Structure 1
Amino acid sequence: MNKPVDASFLRPPADGEAELARLQPLFDRIEAGASERERERILPFAEVALLREAGYGALRLLRGDTVGLTFRQLLKIVIRLGAADSNVAHIFRNHFTVNELYARRAREGQGRVWQDAIARGAIFGLGNIELGAKSAGGVLPATTITPEGDGFRLEGTKYYTTGTLYADYVLVRAATPDERLASVIIPVRREGIEIVDDWDGVGQRLTASGTGHFRHVRVEGAEVVFDADGVGYGHAYSNTLAQLYVSAIVAGIARAVLNDARRLLLGRTRTFYYATAERPADDPLLLQVLGELSTDAFAAEAAVLAAAEALDEVGAARDNGHDDAGLAHEAALAAAKAKLIVDERAIRSAGRLFDLAGASAASRARNLDRHWRNARTLATHNPGVTKAAAIGAFEANGTRLPAKGFF
């Protein structure tokens, strides 16, 4: 882990806008090299280090009277980072999930150790999905933790280990021989752990969302949290933040499309011979496209922030010691609706961007296709048709959303 950083960012921020103003210059710096990094496959270790040092990963910490940012405030910042570089924003998705489920409310024990690590700048990754596993019905993972002395041994292979290549700790989902589900949170550099950057997706190419091998890894007893204890993934709708965080990144891509569209239009000096105005920025057809892109970015952000407010009600209840299943369902439902709104608008906008510049926009040097590829890749993290069907079942029959998985 990098050297400890100034923990002054743990003071209660005046408001979310103040934190955004503090971080925006850093986001601008990250944005400046985003296209080149993606085009040349330059992994953003330096950019992640900058965010680490700025306390980005600690924005939700709960320490004493410091409650950190609300989900609404946090996700507004995530949208801005997503607009700067969706890969970098995505690297921190699992970090915020682990922080929320296992570290943020800790007052003692191992949870406090993880909380203090986050305060010093530590980043947490995730190893959950397994290729070849049948996920329908919530079957047990093939990855195992076997008791050994006063601890365990971890064995297994995971895929989609997003962000773990950049992380200091990794949460691994596993099961005991007697089929107890658990989360194992251990240092990434512990002997027996290998993180492989073999992700070959069309988009989000720099998140290192590839394979994680865990070969006979020693795990201390305090580093295991069992679902049966009713914390972390033992909560109903424990994945809502993770889902909404992805939607915030996609909303950020819609904003990035708008920013690039504006620059394209204002930078054009030539136009089509049949254009209605000599100056492209005066052409009402092109202005209409820009206006529609602006509207899509606005709608995407508004949907995410509205869902975040529902999640804030859940967070406030849990901070006060109450796990309200009804509030959690409402937040999951809002996040599912937001996903459908955000994905449709961002993917559509990323394609329409090319209407503003014609063939020259297809230049590989411009790398404008990354917006569509990244939005499309993020949207596949959980199928929209499944979300729509679940929402419809609730509207028609009052059937609640699944409490586990991608809700």
Structure 2
Amino acid sequence: MTTLETLDVPDCVATAVRPRSAELRALLARLAQGEPDREHDARPPWEQFALIRQARLGALRLPAAWGGGGASIRELFETVLDLGAADPNIAQSLRNHFLIVEGRLRAAAGAEDPLLARVLGGALFGASSSEPGTPNIGQREQAHSTAVTPDADGFRLDGTKVYSTGNLYADFIVVSAGTADGATTQVVVPADRAGVIHEDDWDGIGQRLTGSGTTRFSGVRLAPEDFLSGQDAWSDKGSAYPATFPQLWLTTVIAGILRQVAQDAAALVRERVRTFYHAPAERPVDDPILQETVGYIASAAYAAEALVLDAADTLDASVSAILAGDGNPDLDAAAALKAAKAKVVIDELAQRAATALFDAGGATAARRGAHLDRHWRNIRTLASHNPRSYKAQRIGAHLISGTPLPNGAYF
């Protein structure tokens, strides 16, 4: 049986790619190549994920002494920004992997940990937690109909998970499941093990290549070593607000898209040769209205990046305290509040800027062949993960009355 210990991983470079390095910039450039056409043609980025494995990007947060990238939280989120600009589908697809890695780090797992050892070797991890029909999503304690049950000389896994973002590209999947005694366990199974069924049935208007469909487990055989060492994979150890990391990730991807929107807006105006007879300038590049439009979009992109990186700095301080064994609930709350405020502002700002892009380009920008509608669709889809109206209300209640912020999975 193929297990966590025996699955082969692709050949990788000797050391994981480092943050802010020339190698990382080269990787990002390769990931960006062909992104509009991939999105338009609905072609999953298989080759791009092979490059990610080869560069061991998944080990970016692991200590350099282990052979990892040695990135801080701030440097990780800088990379998420870059990924969002290069290919937001890839950026979102990697979120669960880095959430799992962060969880193992917070659980004080070392380089000898089987999961982290695989990450150091280039493997990528997905997650299966959400289930259809759950009435109150996001609670920290969730019952799972997906079940681990005794079977012959081992165990078996059966059930259905939804919104399986990234599983299509993963080497392993961390699955949350119920047990016969009513407890919750987590198992790690190779993504290609017999009985693991990936259904690429996500039909959203945006982020269409994230593999966010259904994952089914039908009689998947489990060995004792497939159970996750009695430790949760998720990054909630020591943190009062464990969802700040994954929520800020999504907002940062939006900020990355907005960076690309600004670049596309400037390019549209530079390349325009026609204008209206009643325009204020003969050449589009000299038109003050178009200049103002591009300036607004660029300013929105700058503001979005500043907001997410400021929140990342506070999250960095919070995580550093946790890893040092000196967790600070006040820092946790400050990071959660900044991430929530950033989302409330950036969701609206980004959608307005992605619409203003068409003011810069005119009818030419609306051609299907230009693929520029993907920016708005991707932003709108990412923003829909949890309503900004709920976040704004909770921020207001906190500031007015001191009401604690929610600490479940979607805040």
Aligned ranges 1:220-239 → 2 under 5 Å: 220-225=223-228, 232-233=235-236, 236-239=240-243
Q: Secondary structure at the match of 1:403?
A: coil
What's the CA shift string for 1:151-207, capped at 9, x where partnerless? 542221011111111110111122223332333222111221111111100000111
Shift of 1:339: 1.3
Partner residue in 1 for 2:91: 89
Aligned length: 399
**8 Å CA contact 1:95, 1:123 repeated in 2:** yes
With over 3 angstroms needed to count, the CA separation of the structure-2 counterparts of 1:227 and 1:385, relative to structure 1, is farther
What's the CA shift string for 1:3-58, capped at 9, x where partnerless? 23123237xx5xx43x2x43223322322301111111111000111122122211
For 2:343 and 2:275, the matched residues in 1 are separated by: 36
Shift of 1:240: 1.7
What's the CA shift string for 1:53-83, capped at 9, x where partnerless? 1222111013647781111111111111111
**8 Å CA contact 2:144, 2:178 repeated in 1:** yes
**8 Å CA contact 1:171, 1:186 repeated in 2:** yes
Aligned ranges 1:205-354 → 2 under 5 Å: 205-225=208-228, 232-233=235-236, 236-354=240-358
With over 3 angstroms needed to count, the CA separation of the structure-2 counterparts of 1:108 and 1:260, relative to structure 1, is closer
More divergent stretch after superposition (397-406 vs 227-236): 227-236
TM-score by length of 1: 0.91
Partner residue in 2 for 1:178: 181
Say which of 5, 8, 23 aligns to 2:15: 8
**8 Å CA contact 1:159, 1:212 repeated in 2:** yes
Identity percentage over the alignment? Answer: 43
More divergent stretch after superposition (174-183 vs 299-308): 174-183
What's the CA shift string for 1:360-391, capped at 9, x where partnerless? 11100001000000000001111111211221
With over 3 angstroms needed to count, the CA separation of the structure-2 counterparts of 1:353 and 1:103, relative to structure 1, is same
**8 Å CA contact 1:42, 1:206 repeated in 2:** yes
- Aligned AA for 1:172? V
Q: Secondary structure at the match of 1:292?
A: helix
Residue 145 of structure 1 pairs with residue 142 of structure 2: no
With over 3 angstroms needed to count, the CA separation of the structure-2 counterparts of 1:215 and 1:131, relative to structure 1, is same
With over 3 angstroms needed to count, the CA separation of the structure-2 counterparts of 1:243 and 1:4, relative to structure 1, is same
Q: Secondary structure at the match of 1:185?
A: strand
Partner residue in 2 for 1:192: 195
For 2:374 and 2:226, the matched residues in 1 are separated by: 39
- Aligned AA for 1:334? K
For 2:322 and 2:83, the matched residues in 1 are separated by: 27
- Aligned AA for 1:77? T
For 2:25 and 2:298, the matched residues in 1 are separated by: 20
Shift of 1:239: 2.3
**8 Å CA contact 1:361, 1:368 repeated in 2:** yes
Q: Secondary structure at the match of 1:247?
A: helix
Q: Secondary structure at the match of 2:25?
A: helix
Q: Secondary structure at the match of 1:215?
A: strand
**8 Å CA contact 1:251, 1:346 repeated in 2:** yes
Q: Secondary structure at the match of 1:154?
A: strand
**8 Å CA contact 1:44, 1:206 repeated in 2:** yes
- Aligned AA for 2:33? A
Shift of 1:225: 4.3
For 1:34 and 1:290, the matched residues in 2 are separated by: 22
What's the CA shift string for 1:254-284, capped at 9, x where partnerless? 0010011111011111111111111111111
Q: Secondary structure at the match of 1:201?
A: coil
More divergent stretch after superposition (393-402 vs 285-294): 393-402
Structure 1 runs not aligned, ≥5 long: none
Partner residue in 2 for 1:123: 124
- Aligned AA for 2:397? A
Residue 166 of structure 1 pairs with residue 169 of structure 2: yes
- Aligned AA for 2:135? K
Shift of 1:403: 1.7
**8 Å CA contact 2:354, 2:376 repeated in 1:** yes
Structure 2 runs not aligned, ≥5 long: 1-7
For 1:291 and 1:229, the matched residues in 2 are separated by: 46
Partner residue in 2 for 1:401: 405
Q: Cα RMSD over matched residues? A: 2.3
Aligned ranges 1:93-112 → 2 under 5 Å: 93-102=95-104, 105-107=108-110, 112=113
**8 Å CA contact 1:199, 1:210 repeated in 2:** yes
For 2:160 and 2:315, the matched residues in 1 are separated by: 32
**8 Å CA contact 2:10, 2:54 repeated in 1:** no
For 1:332 and 1:278, the matched residues in 2 are separated by: 49
**8 Å CA contact 1:37, 1:43 repeated in 2:** yes
**8 Å CA contact 1:193, 1:213 repeated in 2:** yes
With over 3 angstroms needed to count, the CA separation of the structure-2 counterparts of 1:46 and 1:200, relative to structure 1, is same
